[in-house]
Structure 1
């Protein structure tokens, strides 16, 4: 039995990456349940998706480490912010300037990569068909496989894949007790198994490797306390005393706080944690609202509520009443970012799925994005590139909302990609299907970082009590 710990609902339109049914998806928050945790730790092998809550995993570090020490095998995907298994190294962003800076190279053999031409890992494209490497150099996007590296590896670690001209450690493995940890520092490794390329063997190789562990029984222990995450500020909406956390926004300004209090609702994933720790965002004093632990009442004390993209729907549901209450406060701004199924909980909002076009800047393809209302004051803070890199479907807002970025299909507008609504509720509401926190925190797609910076500049410069 191979189990994959996931962070919630997969991205809409994403291909099934449970690899031909051999890997079963399990909600990572099941680790908090004794019976479910026992089942997880009884698996032959584990895959940890890149979208899992790292704070949660940190609570279960002893259990996950014990699984490996007893002979289990684990694939860790994504960018490790704080190690949650003994021996894990922290991921570091590579400052890359071109495709060759993120080209993967084999450093040492590993059975998971047996039979793979590493050139087939370099580029991805949504252009239909199977393409030569030379063609992919023209139409493909590099960096999906990896865009960072690891230092301070365990003493017995073997570097499997290097990145860039210096072959910096991207993928590595190391023994731990009787088991083995395999780390892939990029988008989920199993998603790269493509029938059109040599990577078709990646899925079977991975399953065979995960099933190859020989395990002893694991002693179950209670989950430990939440560890502080390096780089995040301790003064957060989740940890502030209740009296301050529920302080009305107007009272906060009267107490001498000129800048708006901005809270980022998040689920402890690596993009959110890296965004909160980004020194470039320090002037905005983003307050961490970690959904599993925070009190929804904390939102009452914020001037700006940012609902981070790609949240775990179960964790978000507990905060929906507080978000809707914030929309009734005329002194607040609420920003809701992409892939949060807003049509299920924001009043009167419709949604239409569209596939994500992430390769248009390589092919010159028109992805249909159009900017509207050039006279709107929002454009004083946003550049065209910050609002046109890609999206995750179309929104259909209520009448009166201002759609500033839209999708045009067959010469007609078919939906909104970013809109501002100041008429259908007392608060100011901005909603978009773009996902800037995910991409900024992942160190990928400069337009996404521009959008995040623009949102923060806009809301800081324009937020004020209404008379």
Structure 2
């Protein structure tokens, strides 16, 4: 029995191969329930998905570590920001300049990679068909498998995969008690199992490896985390050390600077984004949804609904977000992959597959910039809004669609729109996911969009907003 702990909103359109039937997806927040946690930690093996809440996992570090010590095997995916199993190393971003900087190399044999040609891990493309490595160097995008490395590895660790010319540690494993931890520092390892290539072996190999641990039925249930008995201690442990204290609704920002809150669920991208020194001038505040009260939104000037949020956690805040839309002094920004059609008034959605390879192939992906005279374009460059998207929005009448998808000569939906007429607050909605990509260290255009959004809300904040409007959209407050 293998459980895969997941969180956030899975990307729409993903398909599961047959071997995934051996893995049961479990909401990572089930760890907070005693009975569910006992069931999870009685399994043979665990997969920690890249969308899981690291702050949540840290609260259960003792239990997860004991699971491994008792003979369990765990695959940890993505970029570890806060170690949630004893021995985990923190991920470090690689400053790469080209495809060879992120080329993965085999360092030490491991059964999960048996039969895998590492060249098949180097590039990804959505261009239909099966392609040779030589063709992928022309049309593929590198960096999906990994774009960072780990130092200060735990005692007894073995580097499985190196990255770049110096083979910096990307994938590694280490023993912990009677069990083993396997770490993949990139997009979820199981997502690379593709039957068209040698990487198709990864999925079945992973299942065999996870089932091969030494845990038996007699191991019983794992203990709870030591912090569970104290809600106060649990809440304190959950706050990112790099972020300001959770908003309370009574604080005020100095001068005319807006109070900006980033709503998130403790996954690695927002944690790394909040820790980015480049964002410090804007003083973004952490609003960690599992521990925050929805009433904290009343004290914010700008509410940024981070991308790919856990739908259960977001649902608890949806009424407060809608209430914030009735405040003319507020700006609400809703980022991609949040199923806005289910909770945001008046907006529809149509799925479209994500196109991420057009800059390599020259293919026209249909993205068009509209309303060139709109004052918003003072803050957004074409590169900031045309890297990729996750579907089409259908905003209510009166909203200004600045970035659209053109299909067969007709605008079929918006990729980014601004609405200043259908509710008192300013509202910007996009299907792009800049926090995820900025925090992942991937796609420079995403970082540009995030910075542009922060510049926009700061320069046009009330009371400076009236001066902005009277000046014909030419800001003097930057």
Structure-2-length-normalised TM-score: 0.93
Look up the match of 2:6: 6
The correspondence for 2:346, drawn from 323, 345, 348, is 348
What is the rounded CA distance, in whole Å, between the counterparts of 1:386 and 1:344 in structure 2?
Answer: 27
Mapping for residues 197-236 of structure 1, pairs under 5 Å: 197-215=197-215, 216-222=219-225, 224=227, 225-226=234-235, 227=237, 231-236=241-246
Give the deviation of 1:218 after TM superposition.
4.3
Give the deviation of 1:17 after TM superposition.
6.2
Find out whether 1:131 has 2:131 as its counterpart.
Answer: yes
Report SS of the residue matched to 2:435.
helix
Give the deviation of 1:18 after TM superposition.
7.8
What is the rounded CA distance, in whole Å, between the counterparts of 1:246 and 1:279 in structure 2?
Answer: 25
Are 1:94 and 1:148, in contact at CA under 8 Å, matched by a contact in 2?
A: yes
What is the rounded CA distance, in whole Å, between the counterparts of 1:17 and 1:328 in structure 2?
Answer: 45
Give the deviation of 1:16 after TM superposition.
2.0
Find out whether 1:311 has 2:309 as its counterpart.
Answer: yes
Look up the match of 1:242: none
Give the deviation of 1:223 after TM superposition.
5.2
Look up the match of 2:187: 187
Look up the match of 2:299: 301
Give the deviation of 1:427 after TM superposition.
0.2
Are 2:56 and 2:266, in contact at CA under 8 Å, matched by a contact in 1?
A: yes
| Residue 295 to residue 5, structure 1, CA distance change in 2 (3 Å) | same
Please list the CA deviations of residues 337-359 of structure 1 after superposition, one character each: whole Å capped at 9, or x if unmatched.
Answer: 00000000111100000000010
The correspondence for 1:460, drawn from 458, 461, 464, is 458
| Greater alpha carbon shift after TM alignment, 213-222 vs 332-341 | 213-222
Structure 1: which 5+ runs fail to align? Answer: 238-244
Please list the CA deviations of residues 207-239 of structure 1 after superposition, one character each: whole Å capped at 9, or x if unmatched.
Answer: 0000000113344224522526665223331xx
| Residue 142 to residue 433, structure 1, CA distance change in 2 (3 Å) | same
Are 1:18 and 1:190, in contact at CA under 8 Å, matched by a contact in 2?
A: no
Look up the match of 1:321: 319
| Residue 168 to residue 441, structure 1, CA distance change in 2 (3 Å) | same
Look up the match of 2:140: 140
The correspondence for 1:401, drawn from 389, 399, 402, is 399
Find out whether 1:387 has 2:385 as its counterpart.
Answer: yes
Look up the match of 1:149: 149
Instruction: State the aligned residue count.
Output: 455
Are 2:379 and 2:452, in contact at CA under 8 Å, matched by a contact in 1?
A: yes
What is the rounded CA distance, in whole Å, between the counterparts of 2:403 and 2:101 in structure 1?
Answer: 33
Report SS of the residue matched to 2:74.
strand
Report SS of the residue matched to 2:181.
strand
Are 1:17 and 1:191, in contact at CA under 8 Å, matched by a contact in 2?
A: no
Look up the match of 2:107: 107
Give the deviation of 1:257 after TM superposition.
3.3
| Residue 104 to residue 447, structure 1, CA distance change in 2 (3 Å) | same
Give the deviation of 1:445 after TM superposition.
0.5
Please list the CA deviations of residues 292-340 of structure 1 after superposition, one character each: whole Å capped at 9, or x if unmatched.
Answer: 0011111001000000000000000110111011000000000000000
Look up the match of 1:419: 417
Are 2:5 and 2:46, in contact at CA under 8 Å, matched by a contact in 1?
A: yes
Structure 2: which 5+ runs fail to align? Answer: 228-233, 467-478
What is the rounded CA distance, in whole Å, between the counterparts of 1:428 and 1:115 in structure 2?
Answer: 54
Are 1:50 and 1:79, in contact at CA under 8 Å, matched by a contact in 2?
A: yes
Look up the match of 2:357: 359
Give the deviation of 1:97 after TM superposition.
0.2
Report SS of the residue matched to 1:131.
coil
What is the rounded CA distance, in whole Å, between the counterparts of 2:200 and 2:17 in structure 1?
Answer: 13
Are 1:247 and 1:300, in contact at CA under 8 Å, matched by a contact in 2?
A: no
The correspondence for 2:366, drawn from 368, 372, 376, is 368
Structure-1-length-normalised TM-score: 0.95
Report SS of the residue matched to 2:79.
coil
What is the rounded CA distance, in whole Å, between the counterparts of 1:230 and 1:90 in structure 2?
Answer: 14
Are 1:66 and 1:218, in contact at CA under 8 Å, matched by a contact in 2?
A: no
